[in-house]
């Protein structure tokens, strides 16, 4: 009975981990540029003394869904989305270079161009700093131009260019901070062929309907595992009563 109990217990534990991953996807369904985490179960034999006659369920994240989310039209000058493949280069919280498709850009109080969650956008020489301006434009190639305060409308000045990269998806890995990096840990080379769409940003690629269905299935699976543990307990108590009668 103990083996049955531990198999059911491990299944319930791994189902809870899978539910946590699915809940994280759902929680970020409206986060611009969010990439859904994939999840799967597989059998894992238990090795030890004797022949491995038991197999436990193991929940794991085999990778990340790199499909593109829908483009949300806003008409806002600082909202941009990469047309096709590619990534924006940003500075992560730890100071390293990382990549995202989040394009709801803004200018913070220090004049830094940042993503909607406050990460500095990288240009040719690091984070992009913008002087006070009456107007700001981002070209299809990522070039940032401004109209300085007090200047004529014809005197647009080029400030910097957003760094965009396009490494192969099999070279990328998503970190716990939601940002993508090269598996090698190196910085990707800039790709000048990439183009931007202005007035839009890319939304999350989470399929809400599929995630809700997955949540229900995982809940039922967890209930089944709990019932198996209860059954193991009942069988153990019945066996104990029979032994006492003997």
User: Locate tokens 């970020």: which residue?
Assistant: 28
Structure tokens at 83: 């047309």
pLDDT digits (tens, 9 = 90+) for 163-196: 999 999 889 999 988 899 999 989 999 998 999 9
In angstroms, the CA 123 to CA 164 distance is 9
Give the least confident one: 75-89, 148-162, 164-178. Answer: 148-162
In angstroms, the CA 234 to CA 173 distance is 46
The H or E element that residue 228 is part of is helix 208-245
Residue 39 has pLDDT above 80, yes or no: yes
In angstroms, the CA 104 to CA 114 distance is 9
In angstroms, the CA 31 to CA 203 distance is 6
The answer to whether the pTM exceeds 0.85 is: no
pLDDT mean over 90-110: 93
């Amino acid at each position: 009975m103990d083996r049955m109990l531990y198999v059911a217990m491990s299944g319930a534990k791994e189902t809870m981990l899978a539910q946590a991953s699915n809940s994280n996807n759902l929680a970020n369904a409206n986060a611009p540029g969010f990439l859904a985490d994939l999840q799967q179960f597989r059998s894992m034999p238990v090795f030890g003394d004797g022949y491995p006659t038991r197999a436990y369920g193991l929940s794991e994240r085999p990778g990340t869904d790199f499909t593109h989310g829908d483009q949300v039209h806003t008409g806002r000058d600082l909202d941009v989305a990469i047309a096709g493949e590619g990534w924006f280069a940003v500075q992560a919280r730890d100071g390293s270079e990382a990549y995202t498709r989040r394009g709801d850009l803004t200018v913070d109080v220090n004049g830094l161009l940042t993503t909607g969650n406050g990460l500095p956008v990288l240009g040719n020489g690091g984070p992009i700093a913008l002087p006070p301006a009456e107007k700001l434009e981002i070209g299809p190639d990522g070039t940032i131009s401004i109209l300085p305060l007090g200047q004529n409308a014809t005197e647009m000045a080029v400030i910097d260019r957003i760094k965009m990269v396009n490494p192969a998806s099999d070279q990328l890995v998503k970190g716990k901070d939601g940002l993508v990096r090269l598996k090698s840990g190196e910085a990707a080379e800039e790709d000048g062929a990439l183009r931007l769409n202005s007035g839009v940003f890319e939304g999350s690629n989470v399929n809400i309907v599929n995630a809700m269905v997955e949540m229900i299935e995982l809940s039922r699976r967890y209930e089944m595992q709990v019932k198996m543990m209860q059954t193991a307990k009942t069988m153990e108590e019945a066996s104990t009563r029979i032994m006492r009668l003997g």
